[in-house]
Amino acid sequence: MKTATIVGAGLAGSLWAVYLAKAGYNVTIFERRSDIRLAEIQAGKSINLALSHRGWEALRAVGVDHHVNELAIPMTGRIMHSATGELTAQPYGQEGQAIYSVSRGGLNAKMMDVAEKEFGATINYNMQCTGGNLEEGIVYLTNKLTGEHSEHQSDLVFGCDGAYSALRYKAFQKLDRFNYSQEFVEDGYKEFLIPANADGSYKLDKNALHIWPRGRFMLIALANEDGSFTCTLFMPFEGDENAFDKINTKAEIEAFFETRFPDFYEMCPNVVEQWGTHPLSSLAIMRCYPWTSGKAALMGDAAHATVPFYGQGMNASLEDCHTMGKLMEEHDHDWEAIFKAYQADRKPNGDAVQELSKHNYLVMRDFVADPQFLLQKKFENRIQELYPEKYIALYSMVSFSSIPYAEAWKKGQEQDVYMKDLMQQHDIESLMKEGKVDDLIHRIFKDKLVSN
């Protein structure tokens, strides 16, 4: 039986273990942390995840999607909260389409269970990767509890150990002509928890992503299974009127939330305590290439870590597994051919999802509060409803299809220019109020062969 080593038991590592085990490989995982299933998972440093089409497709391909269904809460759209408490709703896609809020810790624990108990993968905890011989398939390890050093050799090695990948840093980055860059964005984040009501019910609509857009900063909230919401404040570290370095005392914290997010402040009475106990964390984009060398490959965040503003970091990582799994079958386990095809396919898409993520931060913190932007999205959605075979909005391409990220990003930029041009040519708002916008859409799109 062929053997495979996976560094990292996170979401990509756990799912890729399932793919390999189903294909007949003996899989060993080395994880630097202790078993997260033995610890109580709380809000603090783990932004809730949004599972969408690509992630579900990767789970379905190996028949494990049913394990995740019970953890996933559908979100059919965004609800924006103004500074004075008004709510504005915007659907994500067409009727019946949704993305799903899932707890990172809960999903990770479930996938580890599946990899171990159903597919026979072995997970070794507290094992820090300290290097590797990529040509020989060797991983060097240190037991964090005992200090003992060891090495593990296998036919294949996969670095699935996240944005700060030890295998990438200790082995890939030692290679000649290996390109690597790390770009921190100016903003950091803190997490908070809105508790459930006394009867266990939700304080907000659980089937929506809640956004408090405030221009240069924003707060978001995603529902949890227990009636609570995990909330994340994104804001500059410094250099702005509203920045983390300007909020330090109890009075400053209370004044900030009471004036900027009054409805949130009412729902989160212990926000001051949470501010002090939950860490301030940074956000970075990691780019590198090549993603493969010898018997080893990088997958997920280890290859293309991004910022969380499109909700696609996890989905892109799971899609790596799906793509590699299809290539494994297509090339009949010829790993030289698989690795070559994998990085040629996924590198442009990794770059694109990073660009999409940066762009969507502007959308979420600025544009969703802009009436003109909301009007354009409403117009786009109506075009897509009437002519779905000819026009797919960018968000739908990314979240509700398998269109490659690079293609979606390029097409989305072109469509945005086209839509803005249409909005300038026609008074869309008046046409909508008069019930005549469908007539315009039919005139434009009826005889078109493809979308612009």
360 pLDDT band, cuts 50/70/90, is: confident
Q: Select from 199, 197, 233 the least CA-distant residue to 214.
A: 233
Residue 424 has pLDDT above 50, yes or no: yes
pLDDT tens digits, one per residue of 249-261 = 999 999 999 999 9
Amino acid code (one letter) for 202: Y
Written as one string, the DSSP assignment of 303-320 is HH---GGGS-HHHHHHHH
In the chain, the percentage of residues whose pLDDT exceeds 90 is 86
CATH top class, domain 3-38+104-182+283-360? alpha beta
What pLDDT is recorded for position 340? 98
What are the structural domain ranges in the chain? 3-38+104-182+283-360, 370-445
Question: In angstroms, what CA-CA distances link 296 with 5, 226, 299?
Answer: 9, 40, 10
Residue 204 has pLDDT above 90, yes or no: yes
At 210, is the secondary structure helix, strand, or coil? strand
What pLDDT is recorded for position 270? 95
CA distance 267 to 208: 17
Of the CA atoms within 13 Å of residue 415, those in its CB half-sphere come to 23
| Global pTM value | 0.92
Pair of tokens at residue 220: 């978001």
Amino acid code (one letter) for 215: G
Pair of tokens at residue 214: 């405030």
Alpha helices for 44-126 (secondary structure H): 53-61, 65-69, 104-113
What pLDDT is recorded for position 218? 93
304 pLDDT band, cuts 50/70/90, is: very high
Give yes or no for a contact between 4 and 299, defined as CB atoms under 8 angstroms apart.
no
From 138-147, 361-370, 391-400, the region with the lowest mean pLDDT: 361-370
How many residues appear in the chain?
Answer: 452
Residue 452 has pLDDT above 50, yes or no: no
Give yes or no for a contact between 267 and 258, defined as CB atoms under 8 angstroms apart.
no
In the chain, the percentage of residues whose pLDDT exceeds 70 is 96
Written as one string, the DSSP assignment of 250-287 is HHHHHHHHHHH-HHHHHH-TTHHHHHHHSPPEEEEEEE
Pair of tokens at residue 181: 């860059």
Of the CA atoms within 13 Å of residue 312, those in its CB half-sphere come to 34
What pLDDT is recorded for position 47? 64
Q: Region 380-405: what's the mean pLDDT? A: 94
Residue 186 has pLDDT above 60, yes or no: yes
pLDDT tens digits, one per residue of 123-145 = 999 999 999 999 999 999 999 99
Give yes or no for a contact between 127 and 6, defined as CB atoms under 8 angstroms apart.
no
CA distance 397 to 380: 13
Pair of tokens at residue 104: 């990172």
pLDDT tens digits, one per residue of 27-63 = 999 999 999 988 755 444 456 899 999 999 999 999 9
Amino acid code (one letter) for 450: V
Amino acid code (one letter) for 420: K
